[in-house]
Amino acid sequence: MPVYRDEAVVLRTHKLGEADRIVTMLSRQHGKIRAVAKGVRRTASRFGSRLEPFMVADVQLYEGRSLDIVTQAESIGAYGALIAEDYASYTAANAMVEAADRLTDAEASLQQYLLLVGALRSLSRREHGPGLTLDSYLLRALSLAGWAPSFEDCSRCGAPGPHTAVVVQLGGVVCDNCAPQGAPRVDADTIALLGALLTGDWAAAEAAPEPTRSRANGVVAAYTQWHLERGLRSLQHIPHDQTPHSPAPHDQPTHDQKASG
Q: What are phi and psi of 224, to 5 degrees?
A: -65, -45
214 has pLDDT over 60: yes
- Reported as a single tens digit per residue, the pLDDT across 180-209 is 999 999 999 999 999 999 999 999 999 999
- Reported as a single tens digit per residue, the pLDDT across 128-168 is 999 999 999 999 999 999 999 999 999 999 999 899 999 99
| 22-47 mean pLDDT | 84
